[in-house]
Amino acid sequence: MHVTKRDGALDLLKWLALLSMLLDHLRYVGISADWLYVPGRMAFAWFCLAMAANLSRAGAQKTEWRYLGWLLLFSAVSEIPYRLYIPDPDTLNVMPTLALGLLVARGWQDRTLLSRLLGVGALLLAALFSPWLMFGVFGVLLPLALLLVFRRPWYFSLLPGLVCLAGNQWQVLYEAAEFGNVVAVLGIAACLMAPLLGMFLLRHSGSIHPLPMRRWAYALYPAHFLLLLAIRHLIA
């Protein structure tokens, strides 16, 4: 979301979220790197935290529809590259989850009738179509969970950590962890700690000023699928 004064910590969080997502998706490029699942658990939580940070700003309502429009546009643009790269996907790409999450969070934050109706409608859609949404209904609720604790003491961040874990097939992770799977154990820890680490980053890295992530950054999502697809064909 465009703001007049850039927040370097927020841009840094977005770049780290993108890097975490890229590392996660490297698992499908044709190399044996299951451990990349662990840093990959940070990506979605950090993108949701960036959304919550934008919504918490004064004047966020002036750009929310444009924000939603970009999410919906790249939901459509990204679906084909996503399905070309991810083997046998059983959900849509992540953008619809973020779009619904934005509506739910704004429905809670904004007391106007339209925002409330859109928020309730988005939540109902998420509940009905949870199996087809990446991270399911809990993923849709994560931006709201982060918004609710955004200005609270650090230990409140553990609550959206539980929501993050619930959106990451916690039953599968728990069963694997019971059998001593180290990746599953670390994956659970990453889900729980991702909001806390993101909050720490936002509060203590304001002096860092990376390349600002503006609207062009939406294109990085479908582009990275095409890039990794090309790499997979080269090393096959």
Task: Please spell the DSSP secondary structure of 74-115, one letter per residue.
Answer: HHHHHHHHHHHHSSS--S--HHHHHHHHHHHHHHHH--SHHH
CA distances from 224 to 17, 23, 218 (A): 13, 11, 11
pLDDT value at residue 60: 65
- Across the chain, which has 236 residues, the per-10-residue mean pLDDT values are 67 97 95 92 98 84 82 97 95 98 95 94 98 97 97 94 94 91 96 97 91 94 98 91
Q: What is the pLDDT of residue 123?
A: 98
CA–CA gap between residue 23 and residue 120 (Å, rounded): 34
